[in-house]
Structure 1
Amino acid sequence: MASSSLFLLGALLVLASWQAIVAYDPSPLQDFCVADMNSPVRVNGFACKNPMDVSSEDFFNAAKFDMPRNTFNKLGSNVTNLNVMEFPGLNTLGISLARIDYAPMGVNPPHIHPRATELLTVLEGTLYVGFVTSNPNKLFSKVVCKGDVFVFPKAMIHFQMNLDHDKPAVAQSALSSQNPGVITIASAVFGSQPPISDDVLTKAFQVEKKLIDWLQSQFWENNY
């Protein structure tokens, strides 16, 4: 009897651990949970709007994803996010979208989405894409063309670059979270506020302090 109880307890612990691992976003417990962006309630996600007040408009967003975006910045790219912050109907559904526009030779710099896997589809142009694994940091990269699809696993550092010197490129991404988050590596390391100690960065990057000081003095522009 005791062994059966221990087995049951162990099975429950394994199940609980597995659910914690695979549940990137809160799992829906009803048909939908349109985010109430005005609710004072703070939860992991957003409180639900009263279902009686929900309409078809809550499941629609005039995103204009067919319209080119402005890529006139240092990176030569523009990311247009469509997550729960812009589209409350996505709350608890575990999905969001992004349109990425690239100027000729534009780059979406190395970054991570801490809460999502990303599935990228090339709509126009040719991109060099890739991601780097956790230690020992193997690079997986490929040149992808119109109609091709590439996946970036959750929380891996990844990037894209338009290889054409003359023509822009466009891609669209589906992400496995209503709010994937983004950490752009260069701006996070060298542009954080307050800044990371240059003693830490000098030791970590094994370069001279003056180079770290110069990097921290730059204006780190984001593309979203």
Structure 2
Amino acid sequence: MRTLFPAASACFVVVFVASVGYAETKIEAKSDKIADAANAAETQRSTVHELSTAPSAHITYPDDRPEWIGRQPDLESSVHTWVVSTSGCESMEMCEAQLEALIPANVSLYIKETTGWVCDDDFLDADWIENQLVSKRYVGTLQQGDHELHEIAVELNFDADSRGRIRRAYQNSVVDDRLRATGGLFALALIGLCCTGSLLGVISRRYT
């Protein structure tokens, strides 16, 4: 019995250390993803701000530029709105490439802001975003000094159905994370018990 308790204690220590390592790794991965999404959205906002206040070149917008492009995110109304706009680009292709990266980053940031969940990339389905979330789109130009630049802006709408889809996916993710963590700990505990049994067998044969 004197050898059983140290061996069992060692087993539980291994399981505990492994579980802590698993949790820390998952937290670090989620933190990195939050930072990436936040940086992408912040780059969009700061670039737009710089364009509107640049001291070296006056920015002139066309008269038909919609006022909704300048709105801040609305997370209080029955339908949440979130505007995504490109900076002034030399070509329309550059605008489209920039928007392609900005939209999923902003959807991810919206989900993080409203639920605290850092969603998987698989959840950010391009068809769902384009068909269900994008409600307005503007394609136009702006004048920066002597240069004509291109701009694209979209307004994302998160209605009750979209928010329900996000909420269900978040809840499923929480359950999956718990199941994976429990399964990992069970496997480690099983390995620890096998090692303990082998150790006890060696000790038993040694003192027999």
TM bin (shorter chain): under 0.3
TM-score (norm 2): 0.24
Q: Which structure exhibits the higher relative contact order, with contacts defined as CA atoms closer than 8 Å and separated by 6 or more residues?
A: 2
Q: Could you say which structure has the larger radius of gyration?
A: 2
> Which of the pair is proportionally richer in helix?
2
> Which of the pair is proportionally richer in strand?
1
